[in-house]
Amino acid sequence: MTIVTDAKNGKITEEMKIVAEVEGKEPEFIRRGIAAGKIVIPMTPYRDIKICGMGEGLKTKVNASIGASSDIVDVDMEVKKAQAAEAAGADTLMELGTGGDFLGIRKAVCDAISLPVGSVPLYQAFISAAKRDGSIVHMTEDDLWSATEEQAKLGTNFMAIHTGVNNIVLDRLKAHGRYGGLCSRGGAFMSTWMLHNEKENPLYEDFDYLCEILKEHEVTLSTGNGMRAGAIADATDRAQVQELIINSECAQKAHDEYDLQVIVEGPGHVPLDQVETNVKLMKAMSGGKPFYMLGPLVSDIGAGRDHIVTAIGASASAAAGCDFLCYVTPAEHLALPNIEDVVEGVKTSKIAAHVGDTVKYPETRELDLAMGRARAKLDWEAQYKVALDPELARSVRDSRAPGDDDACTMCGDFCALKIVNASYDLCK
């Protein structure tokens, strides 16, 4: 029995009621969305979490990703980054570590926060094989299944699983080629293993068994995007679209036959003029499944400021119908993010999500209207209250305190609003 089974049977669960209240929807709307596969509520029987819904008709959600690397393994730092992401407003967290004690670090992170947590179990399977036998090509199918089940039992709510990297996709990749290579770690692991062993991807070949594991532990399947472009020149190419076709077929089977909640992941580097195309293509192919966009970055030259590049793409994605955004930090492509990078990444993507929602759901513009009114009245406390980051807004103004408390040091004595307000009442 899963929440999808309940939804299909007409039952409204407590989780559906919580999401409905948060989103300002009727519980029946949430139930219908889950039954149709258009809304998900990542869950787990193993820990208490903050209930979060994503999908059609709901506000765009933001994921923060953390995780130790082979160069830097600091459990306390990863826990602090997870807590900082939650405090900054992230809706979910992905723990994507590739160094240290996989299960120990993930357990520490899960115990430290209330957010739904996602993972990529094949990282553990491949890297453990490399440590044990000297190479990732020695990974066994049992390694994959064991890693998936072990991580599920820790309370992992959703898993990025590379179901769509199959032999057909690799043929498309080899025939077409890439300017920017293959940037997905999961895609690189699996494709290398397949080519060396001359085998099909077990996650695709034994997809039914995978679904049984996920169903047993109530894990939401997020179909991994192993063929995503690492350069905008490669966006929407044959390999990426072929993988999307396979992932959409897997998503439908998982939902229809196994009553699993499913998210479909999208590309990472996409030029601005192709963002809407990617969202609409994914939605059409998958039957409207919740879409998880990895960024996207709309330019390749923003190193050090890739969170800003991503905000542009994420806003366009959300406006076009994307439901779930993975943040990018200023350290992207350069280094393992620190706490400051995580906070900056979350807050930047939260702005992008809101911008997209003002197009997708015009009622969200009420917040912007409230800010406009507060500014017109020079009501600074009201402005801080509406701002996404009240503490930052207050600290910036206070750091350059004006001589006139009504104005700011941008205009000082010649504040346009103050001048007009003294003669006219233009505020509605």
The pLDDT, as a whole number, for residue 140 is 98
Q: Are strands 54-55 and 39-40 parallel, antiparallel or unpaired?
A: antiparallel
More confident residue, 428 or 221: 221
CA distance readout (Å), 11 to 30, 45, 48, 387: 11, 18, 21, 38
> Other CB atoms closer than 10 Å to residue 197's CB: what's the count?
11
pLDDT at 419 over 90: no
Can you list the pairs that 271-278 forms with residues at least 24 positions away whose Cβ atoms lie under 8 Å?
A: 271/232, 271/235, 271/298, 271/299, 272/298, 272/312, 272/313, 272/316, 274/235, 274/236, 275/313, 275/316, 275/317, 275/320, 276/316, 276/320, 277/236, 278/235, 278/236, 278/317
Confidence of residue 192 (pLDDT cuts 50, 70, 90): very high
The pLDDT, as a whole number, for residue 298 is 98
- Residue among 217, 257, 284, 261 nearest 34 (CA): 261
The pLDDT, as a whole number, for residue 418 is 85
pLDDT at 161 over 90: yes
H or E element at residue 373? helix 366-376
Token pair 């300017």: residue: 179
Q: Where do the DSSP E strands lie in 231-270?
A: 262-265
The pLDDT, as a whole number, for residue 222 is 98
Share of the chain above pLDDT 90, in %: 93
Cα separation of the two ends of the chain? 53
The arithmetic mean of pLDDT across residues 365-391, rounded, is 95
The arithmetic mean of pLDDT across residues 163-168, rounded, is 97
Confidence of residue 427 (pLDDT cuts 50, 70, 90): low
Confidence of residue 1 (pLDDT cuts 50, 70, 90): confident
Confidence of residue 426 (pLDDT cuts 50, 70, 90): low
The pLDDT, as a whole number, for residue 331 is 97
Single-letter amino acid, residue 235: A
pLDDT at 123 over 90: yes
Confidence of residue 420 (pLDDT cuts 50, 70, 90): confident
Give the integer Cα–Cα distance in Å for 158 and 302: 30
Mean pLDDT for the chain? 96
The pLDDT, as a whole number, for residue 29 is 98
- Every domain range in the chain assigned CATH 3.20.20.540: 58-360
Give the integer Cα–Cα distance in Å for 65 and 124: 16
The pLDDT, as a whole number, for residue 423 is 75
CATH number of 58-360: 3.20.20.540
CA distance readout (Å), 405 to 62, 239, 373, 378: 36, 59, 18, 9
Q: Give the tens place of pLDDT for each residue, 387-398.
A: 999 999 999 999
The arithmetic mean of pLDDT across residues 112-137, rounded, is 97
Confidence of residue 404 (pLDDT cuts 50, 70, 90): confident
The arithmetic mean of pLDDT across residues 353-369, rounded, is 96
The pLDDT, as a whole number, for residue 428 is 67
Contact 269, 230 (CB under 8 A): yes
The arithmetic mean of pLDDT across residues 270-276, rounded, is 98
Q: Give the tens place of pLDDT for each residue, 208-262.
A: 999 999 999 999 999 999 999 999 999 999 999 999 999 999 999 999 999 999 9
